[in-house]
């Protein structure tokens, strides 16, 4: 039972971090800037790796994975561009305090 709880907590923690990172990258202005910066760095690293690294880009699996990541990236960028954070609405009125309520005297 303890092993199951440990893996539940681990999965919950990873899920919370992934959700927070996704929210930041997709729905905040600073996240958009970070995404653009990461994209530029990724392209620079790819260019540097293509000139210095081994030539494995012709392998069919590499081509398939690249096309999948390209499609996934395109879907995420489109979703992020369409997503708008919900506007902050008027604050809800507070309920009256129970301290001054005569119905609760003597309880």
90 part of a folded domain: no
Number of domain units in the chain: 1
So what's the pLDDT on residue 12?
92
46 part of a folded domain: yes
What is the C-alpha to C-alpha distance for residues 48 and 43, in angstroms, rounded to an integer?
9
43 part of a folded domain: yes
How far apart, in Å, are the Cα atoms of 36 and each of 17, 27, 39, 68?
21, 13, 5, 20
74 part of a folded domain: no
Q: Which residues contact 99 (CB under 8 A, 6 or more apart)?
A: none
Q: Give the tens place of pLDDT for each residue, 38-70.
A: 888 888 887 777 665 555 556 677 777 777 888
Q: Global pTM?
A: 0.38
85 part of a folded domain: no
Q: Which domain holds residue 29?
A: 1-51
């Amino acid at each position: 039972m303890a092993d199951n709880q440990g893996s539940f907590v681990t999965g919950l923690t990873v899920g919370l971090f992934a959700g927070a990172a996704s929210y930041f990258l997709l729905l905040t202005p600073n996240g958009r800037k970070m995404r653009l910066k990461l994209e530029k760095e990724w392209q620079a690293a790819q260019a540097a790796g293509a000139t210095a690294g081994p030539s494995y880009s012709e392998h069919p699996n590499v081509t398939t994975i690249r096309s999948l990541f390209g499609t996934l990236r395109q879907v995420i960028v489109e979703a992020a561009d369409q997503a708008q954070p919900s506007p902050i609405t008027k604050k809800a009125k507070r309920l009256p305090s129970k301290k001054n309520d005569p119905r609760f005297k003597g309880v």
